[in-house]
Amino acid sequence: MMPLEDHLRQAGIVVPFVVADILDAQDWAPFEERYASTGRAPYAPRAMLGLILYGIMQGISSLRALERLARVDLGCMWVTGGIMTHPGAQTVFRQRKAMVG
């Protein structure tokens, strides 16, 4: 069985790697510091922004379409680590992002 990263590379799908490079260059500490230490574990900010950025690069910006993309697109799954979000979580993340910077 072939790792997903290898499959994407062999298929010539480059967008996930471009997005990952952008995400890897960021400092996620300001986002992570805003999360509460109790309650349900939050989605990783890198994964959430990866979903949004990957979606935009695919021409997708609606919350429901991003939710679907995360479930069916292999490149998106690789970028996000396979998170399955819902539109409400995406809205909260966008609001937090606006408060941080």
Tell me the three-class secondary structure of the chain, residue by residue: CCCHHHHHHHCCCCHHHHHHHHHHCCCCHHHHCCCCCCCCCCCCHHHHHHHHHHHHHCCCCCHHHHHHHHHHCHHHHHHHCCCCCCHHHHHHHHHHHHHHC
Res 20 pLDDT > 60:
yes
- Sequence spans of domains, the chain: 4-29+42-100
pLDDT tens-place string over residues 52-99:
999 999 999 888 898 899 999 999 999 999 988 765 555 555 555 555
